A and B are shown apart, each in its own frame.
Chain A
Amino acid sequence: MEVSRRRILQKHLEPARPLRRCIHIDMEPQINAATCAQALMEEVDQETDISIEQFYKIVNLQKHNEGRISYTRDFLIGLASCPEARKKPEFLPEHPIVLTEARDPGDLRLHEMGGGKEEMAAVRLHSP
């Protein structure tokens, strides 16, 4: 029962999903609550390392966010490369930090795949 309620909740949240990836809908109906919770924990752990209590807290918070327009990072980034997002703004002041042509939206994230992980690891090493 728990499980099916949660599924309905997730559906209502479209497209607002603070957790980057949510429960798969195609679960077997006879899966019991414990297995399901385990699956949830694994899903969540991969991305953020939060506990199941925190997960429920976020789901509850999300209820407060209903009626607000929210987007996940991945969704926003998905829109970055569409032609509408690449146009030059109508009013753009002339300024040294303003570019005449749009930068490639992927350049930062490509960089992230290359050097990014090492940088983060370096931060960890430096921290006590």
Chain B
Amino acid sequence: MNNKFDALKDDDSGDHDQDQGSPKDSEKEKTEDEDKEQNTSKKKMVVPGAGEHPLQYNYTFWYSRRTPGRPASTQSYEQNIKQIGSFASVEQFWRFYSHMIRPGDLTGHSDFHLFKEGIKPMWEDDANKMGGKWIIRLRKGLASRCWENLILAMLGEQFMVGEEICGAVVSVRFQEDIISIWNKTASDQATTARIRDTLRRVLNLPPNTIMEYKTHTDSIKYSLGRLPWSGEC
């Protein structure tokens, strides 16, 4: 375990998701307040308000930030990831979105996550463990717009891959920003190709933009050993 976290200390690739230990560990370390908070939100499933435009799925916004100068550990990850709120309609989405700062205005090593309700933005989650993600690295200055286009396509069901999409992440890093979209089945090539094509279309990317698909099992492997030939994770 320790090795894993040590290896991650310098990782700057948006793979903060490896920072946590097993879900059991995290359960133990949750404070009482957080427990209460999460229980209430679980009991009270969000529904679209009268006259609102329903979404195909409910989604949850999360925010995480790595505390500078502190080693990433189970405890610090659990403290650093914060549930912002869940929504079930287009109007409810905008309420949250318009009350959050834009990713381009974030500072430090931080991430916004937007995942289907019930799926945690971690690869250990049942929905993610066989999955992977498309990663696009962006020059500074593009993150807010690309993130908006990405999540609008996801909420609007523009990817057309059935139940495959799990969520999306924008990672603000020192010299670049990274956006990614996670799906359930990394081995399903028809699905991953379709997601790639839709990404190109909705993000309006130049044709030669580099897009990288990474399975979560690879992310885990590389984060454990930092193999010299694996380059940056």
Contacts and interface: CB of A to CB of B under 8 A. Distances in A.
Scoring A18, A84, A95, A97 by chain B CB atoms within 10 A of each residue's CB, the highest score goes to A97
B91 A73 contact: no
A88 B208 contact: no
Interface stretch (A4-12, A23-31, A34-42, A61-69): A61-69
B156 A72 contact: yes
A70 B157 contact: yes
Given A65-B157, A85-B90, A112-B145, A71 B53 contact: yes
Given A18-B158, A61-B160, A68-B157, A127 B208 contact: yes
Interface string A50-84: 10000000000110110011111101110110101
Interface string B71-96: 00000000000111101001111111
Which secondary structure dominates where chain B touches chain A?
mixed
Given A86-B95, A97-B106, A99-B101, A77 B144 contact: no
Interface residues on A, range: 35 or more
B144 A108 contact: yes
A50 B140 CA distance: 28
A54 B34 CA distance: 48
Contacts of A77: 152
Contact of B84 (A84, A93, A124): A93
Interface string A86-128: 1111011101011111110100100010001001101110111
Given A72-B156, A99-B99, A105-B94, 18 more contacts: A18-B160, A61-B160, A62-B160, A65-B157, A71-B53, A73-B149, A73-B158, A75-B156, A76-B90, A76-B156, A84-B51, A84-B52, A85-B98, A86-B98, A88-B95, A89-B92, A92-B96, A112-B145
20 contacts: A16-B157, A18-B160, A61-B194, A68-B157, A69-B56, A70-B157, A71-B53, A71-B156, A73-B149, A76-B152, A85-B94, A89-B87, A89-B99, A91-B85, A93-B83, A99-B100, A112-B145, A122-B139, A126-B139, A128-B208
Q: Which 6 A-B pairs have the closest CB atoms?
A: A85-B94, A70-B157, A71-B156, A102-B98, A84-B91, A69-B56
Interface of B: 41, 49, 51-56, 63, 82-85, 87, 90-96, 98-102, 106, 139, 141-142, 144-145, 148-149, 152-153, 155-158, 160, 162, 194, 201-202, 204, 206, 208-209
